[in-house]
Amino acid sequence: MTQDTTQLTVQTTTSSRSNTPLAGLKVLDFSTLLPGPFATLMLADLGAEVIHVESPTRVDLVRVMPPYADGQATAHAYLNRNKKSLAVDLKNPENIEKVKGLLAEFDIVVEQFRPGVMQRLGLGYDDLKAINPRLIYCSITGYGQTGSYKDRAGHDINYMSLAGVSGHSGRQDSGPPALGIQVADVAGGSLHAVIGVLAAVIERNQSGQGQHIDISMTDCVFTLNNMAASAQIAGGEDQAPEAATLNGGSYYDYFKTSDNRYMSVGSLEPQFMMGLSAALNLPILAQKGASMFDDDRQAVKQAVSEAIAAQPFAHWQQVFAALDVCVEPVLSLKEAADSQLAQERGWVVDVPLTATHSSSQKQLACPIKFSRSVARYEYAGQQLGETGWADL
């Protein structure tokens, strides 16, 4: 185990782009906050050269969002690592011409303004395509470049609501859950943007042409409904909180322990169900755990709830650590980061504060593991405008 962990650390802490999978790609990033920056963080970690174009007067909120460490916001230090910060007043026509002068050398533009803003600045896709026909131009917005919602403001919680995700999540008596992560922003916007960009890069190898990618966070998070949406759209089955097997309608759920912690139970398959039945001494689970009748489901769920509520968190951790039945403790974020699994899989890495600084900051690692290629961690997010035009 120690040998594997050491090897993993070596593979994911390189400071060179020479063996990164996206070495050679060059990205101009005009985005702020979370969706665009997380997408370009992934590209940068995997070796792309990313120039983060920022306003010198309208500061990106992640730069001032507490908490702080090592003299800057932790969110900025993480989201903008491996990126060069170029401070540019885009309202100055001279700067627009300078930006256009870079385009011949760049592969990708990522922007997150409302539709029409980049066009008014003279930096729309058609403007830049005329300079570089191979340019891949990715626009990330809440509601896309077309449709009646395109100019409407929104946030993650709004996108999930309009996409129907919130409508069949949570509890019947308390409503949709307030999540600890931004699903529409990241799983919707960021990850689909990366997929779209890299798909366009591959297509460009065949056609020789770039293209415009329209990423709507609402469109993308709607697709995350996947199985529930299939049941609704094709099967005509209305979706509601706690009505399906996987959203609280069965014993596939979270259960409170006697000391107000939680265990997650996902023992759906027969072998796991029987193992859980034996561990909890619940014959009803073996008898009716697979039943699709609501009365049976509720009886089984109540039995599991009462059994787990009878003992403290530590007891169940010890019991289920020895069993392979898809039952795991609900950890705090700190507990997760400090866990054995996190250590073994290299979830956290030490990132130099600057390219020449000996001090470092602990940050989330790039989670993608390659057999030959590596991720890079050259430096944390730069100070605003730390990179100048002469450095490009």
What is the predicted pLDDT for the residue at 5? 39
Q: How far is CA 285 from CA 15, 32, 256, 354, in A?
A: 52, 49, 18, 56
Q: For residue range 199-212, what is the model confidence (pLDDT) as tens digits? A: 999 999 999 999 99
Helix axes 270-280, 294-309, angle to 10 degrees: 50
Whether the Cβ atoms of residue 350 and residue 362 lie closer than 8 Å to each other: yes
Going from N- to C-terminal start, the domains of the chain cover 26-225, 253-329
Smallest CA-to-CA distance from 314 within 364, 261, 375 is with: 261
What is the predicted pLDDT for the residue at 1? 33
Q: How far is CA 382 from CA 70, 85, 300, 352, 356, in A?
A: 12, 6, 54, 11, 12
* pTM (2 d.p.): 0.94
Whether the Cβ atoms of residue 318 and residue 325 lie closer than 8 Å to each other: no
> ∠252-258-264 over CA atoms, to 5°?
20
| Residue 140, beta-bridge partner list | 215
CA distance 223 to 244: 18
CATH fold of 253-329 reads formyl-coa transferase, domain 3 (3.30.1540)
What is the predicted pLDDT for the residue at 358? 86
**Residue range 26-225 in CATH 3.40.50.10540:** yes
End-to-end alpha-carbon separation of the chain, Å?
Answer: 43
Q: How far is CA 170 from CA 59, 239, 296, in A?
A: 36, 12, 21
Q: For residue range 293-330, what is the model confidence (pLDDT) as tens digits? A: 999 999 999 999 999 999 999 999 999 999 999 999 99
Smallest CA-to-CA distance from 77 within 47, 48, 52 is with: 52
| DSSP annotation of 9 | H
Q: For residue range 139-164, what is the model confidence (pLDDT) as tens digits? A: 999 999 999 999 999 999 999 999 99
Handedness of CA 100, 104, 106, 108 (dihedral sign): positive
CA distance 141 to 114: 6
CA distance 314 to 185: 35
Q: Which positions of the chain have pLDDT values less than 70?
A: 1-16
What is the predicted pLDDT for the residue at 357? 82
CA distance 370 to 12: 9
Catalytic residue numbers read: 155, 185
